[in-house]
Structures are given as C-alpha cells and as structure tokens.
Chain A
Amino acid sequence: MNGLRLGRELQALLFTLPAMVPLTVFWLFPIGYVFYLSLTSWDFMSEDKPFVGLDNYIALLQNPALYDSLKVTLLFVLGNVLPTLAGGLALAVLLNRKMRVGGAYRALLFSPWVTPTVAVSIVWSWIFEPEAGLANAVLRLFGAEGVGWLSDPDWALVGILLVTIWKGIGWAMVFYLVALRNVPGDILEAASIDGAGASRKFWQITLPLISPTTFFLTVVLVISSLQAYDQINIMTQGGPAGSTRTLLYLYYQSAFEAFNIGEASAVAVTLVAGCALLSLVSFTLSRKSVHY
C-alpha cells in the first residue's frame, strides 16, 4: 500500500470516528457486555461477578413470571399493531382525496405522535379515573357501567393500549397516505372499465399494492411495542396483578428494582435475540412475498 492510499484510508476512518466512538462505547460494547452479564451472578454492588454459565437462563425458564409476561407482551403487540394498522389505513382512505381542509385533518390526527408519552399518559390516567374520569362518564352516558380502567386486571392492558393506539394511529395514517398516492391511477381506472366495484378494487388492487407499507409498519410497530415502557410506568407500573407487565417491564424490574443483574441480562438477551430474529425473518420475507 503506498503512502497516498494509506492517507486516504486514514482520512476516511477519521470521518467515521465521531459516530463510531459513541456507537462503540454506548451501543456495541453494551450489547456484548449484556451477553457476558447474563452468564454471571451479580447484585450490582459487589466487586466480583461470579461466572454461573447458563444458570440465569435456566432460572428464567423456570420462572412463571416469564410466561405471564410473554403472554402480556403478545397481547400488547397484537392489540397495538392490528388496530393501529387498520385504523391508520381507514383514516388514510378517508383522506386520500383533494380537500381544501385535508391538511388540517391530517395535522390534527397526527399531532398526538409528537407529544411526550409521559405527559399524555398522565392525562389519560385522569381520563381513566374511575369516579370522575371522562371514559366512565361516556360509558354511563350510554347506559353502561363504568370500569376500573387501570385498576382492574381485565381492563388495565386495554387502557394502556388505547393510549398507545391513540398516539400511533395518525403516524401510520401518514405512511398509508403516501402509499395510496403511489398506487397508479390507470390500473384502478382499467379495473373500473372492466366493471370492478369500489370494494373489489380496494381488496384486490390497492391492498396488494400497498403491502410493502403494511409490511414496513408491522415490523416497526412490533419492535416499538416490544420496547413500550413510558405509558406502563406512568399508568400501572406493570400491575394490577402483573396484567401489564411486558417482557421489557419484567427486565426493568429485575434489573433496577430487584438488582438481579444476571437474570435481567438474560431477559435482555432474549429481547435482543427476538428482535434480531424478527428483523431477519422480515428481511427474508420482504424479498420474497411483498409486491413492489
């Protein structure tokens, strides 16, 4: 390698340093470190970290809290992703036409997305207040009885899902609006000439053509659902009776409340592996089955 070539290599590396140094220190190293920690037994305070092999994973697999939290996580993911996708698409279909005030509708529907989750979760805690809260007042207006939104184990997850969906639905809508605008008009026109009705055109032409967007949104929403923390922390802290304790919340509690670092790290590794697997599957699938 001659001097000129070497200089070029060094200069390029220099350009990557401002990003690569923090990425390594705060991101890549911790990923490796959490694998190591999951093989030790540590209480956060003591000097040494005894190596225990796979004990933490075995303890985790025998912990009934894991299976409860996996169930909650699955319900949370499905309960967030499906309504957000369906609602976002429905709103986009409604708004996908020339309207003088279309921009105002879009902005209003999107606005919850920019607000801090903590602040809006506090607002929703008040809306869900069982005695004087708005949610139960509306239910009573329709003759139904109020429910203990955040205190009843059957309803707490629903309450948290409502906030999460409320925050994300306008965001999904904007993605779908872009996708709908990219559906070629002449294909739809040709279908009309061939006698296809509006609903047939939607199910058989539009929906398959926007499937890349659905796919992208599904992956992003699943990953963000797996990481949901703020609203759970504000509204229920994983309760009542563990009914809103997701995998991530379990991780947080064993790490920062119980100081069981080994087992917490094992949960983290599970989470990382789950997301990696999901990304891998989605990557392979998107090459094969999504219409572009």
Chain B
Amino acid sequence: MSQSYGIKRVLMHVLLIVLCAVMAFPFYWMVTSGLKTNDEIWQTPPALWPAVPLWSNFVDAWQSANFERYILNSVTVACAIALIQVVNSGMMAYALTHMPFRLKGPLTAIVLVSYMVPTTAVYLPGYVVLSKLHLLDSYAGLILSNSVSVFSIFLIRQAFLQVSHELVEAGRIDGASHLRILWTIIVPLTRASFAVLVLITFIEQYNNYFWPMLITKNPDLQLVSAGLRSFFVEGGAYGLKWPLIMAASAFTIAPLLLLFLFTQKTIMQSVNFSAGVNKG
C-alpha cells in the first residue's frame, strides 16, 4: 500500500516537472536563442545551449533601438494609470456603497453595462474622440484614455460592500468628511483589493499594445510592446537577426517575470477577487 502510494507520488511529480518544463521552455528558448551567433541559430537540429554564449547580443539589442525610452514610457504610463484608478475607483466605489443618493441605481447599471462591452470594439470611435480632443500622440492621451476601468470599480466596490456601514456612520458622527473616512478608514481595511488593482492594472498597461499603437505615431511615445514590434519588423528585418530579436524580447519580458516572482501570491489571489466581481 504505502509503496504503491510512494510510486504514484513520484510519477505525479515527474509528470508535473515535465509539464512545467514544457510551459517554461519558450522562456528558456528565448534566452538561449538570444545568446547564439547568427550562424548557430540556424543549425539543425538546434543546439540546446550555445557553444560560446554571446552575452554581447543583449548589449547590441539594447543599443540598436531606443528600448530605454520604450520601457520607461511603459512603466510611467502604467504607474500613472494605476494611481489614477486607485483614486477614481475608490471614490466611485465609496459613493456606490456608502453614500445614499438618487442616481446610485442608474450609475451602477451604467457601469455594469459597460463591463459587458468589448474594449476593442470602441477603438475606432475612441480614436475619433481622442483626435477631436487633440490628445493623439501625447502622454496625456495614453494615460487619460485608460484612466478608468470598470473592472477596477467593481473590484473595489466588492471590497467596500464587506465594510460595515456603521464604521462610516461613526466617522460621520465624529465630524469626519467622506474623503477622510474613505482614505483613513476604508482604504486601509481593504488594502488587499487595492494591491490587486495596482498589480493587475500595471501588468495590463505595461503589456498594452493595440490601443497605444493606434493613438501614437511618434516613436518617442511608443510603449515597449510597440517598440519591440518595430524592432522585430524594421530593425530585425523579419528574422534576419533572430538572436538580437530574442535578446530584446527577453529584456522586455524580464521586468514582468521579476515583478511576478515577488508578488505571485497577490497576483494569483486576484483570482478570488475577480471571481467575486463577476458574481456582484
């Protein structure tokens, strides 16, 4: 009994290790391909590890396009958006959960309906709106057009619903303003949800490609995905410089994998929250 149990356990670990290896292999392949020479990368069958790892490829790739700028653009825009969403989702959710007012029902319904509309479908009219506001090709346009997320509002609303209304009442009796109650009492109690909001929003915006690409033509404003794509198509000339392209992909992905390494618990917890959002 215990022996067959042990064998089963070992087999299961072997299976899991194989599965994990298959899932992680593209990352390994990206890095090793980035270390090969242009001749070596075309070898068949491909070598699992380069004869002489060419670390200089990473330096060359970094210098052959303005990656510093692209990554900085992505990080700045993503941080700004996450920060704005903390504020406007927090205030909106507070109004919807702890402030009685007549439009509460209609506003909740509007937010709920917009949750169902596919983002990508409004890109064309959104583009026209942005051009009318003279916000094309600007950081302001990149940030403002993404500054509200229905998902974030629902996420925070869900958390605020768990906070007892008596806390708010007590604060009011003590003479505290709604803003003060929100930021000094409610937000600290629901910080787990805000952590999820910040991380998910950051990841989403750092990775964002389609919309930022549509509304910016200036290469200096490109986010990292669009910058990498330009390098892939132009600088890399579609596959003539695969080692450099792989090296560039590696340092584009690295910041996110690092972020994930340190925050994996929170990010994977987000699942509990987003399941809750959909039930709300």
| A interface residues (Cβ-Cβ under 8 A, vs B) | 8-9, 11-13, 15-16, 18-20, 22-23, 25-31, 33-34, 37, 91, 94-95, 103, 105-112, 114-120, 122-124, 126-127, 129, 131-132, 134, 137, 140-141, 166, 169-171, 174-175, 178, 213, 216, 219-220, 223, 226-227, 229-230, 233-234, 248, 251-252, 255-256, 261, 264-265, 268-269, 271-272, 275-276, 279
Contacts and interface: CB of A to CB of B under 8 A. Distances in A.
Given A12-B101, A116-B253, A18 B88 contact: yes
Given A126-B246, A137-B45, A117 B272 contact: no
Given A19-B88, A107-B260, A256-B214, A26 B23 contact: no
A228 B19 CA distance: 25
B253 A120 contact: yes
Interface of B: 12, 15-16, 19-20, 23-24, 26-27, 29-30, 33, 41-46, 84, 87-89, 91-92, 94-96, 99-104, 107, 110-111, 114, 116-126, 128-130, 133, 144-145, 147-148, 150, 153, 178, 203, 206-207, 209-210, 214, 224-226, 228-229, 232, 239, 242, 245-246, 249, 252-253, 256-257, 259-261, 264, 267-268, 271-272, 275, 278
Contacts of A251: 120-121, 124
B29 A105 contact: no
Q: What are the 7 A-B residue pairs with the smallest beta carbon separation, nearest first?
A: A12-B101, A30-B125, A18-B88, A19-B92, A118-B225, A15-B95, A116-B207
B91 A126 contact: no
Contact of B125 (A22, A107, A124, A265): A265
Contacts of A261: 124
A92 B168 CA distance: 41
Given A20-B92, A28-B114, A230-B210, 5 more contacts: A15-B92, A18-B87, A33-B125, A268-B122, A272-B118
A24 B203 CA distance: 24
Given A34-B125, A141-B45, A27 B99 contact: no
Contacts of A12: 95, 99-101, 103-104
A22 B210 contact: no
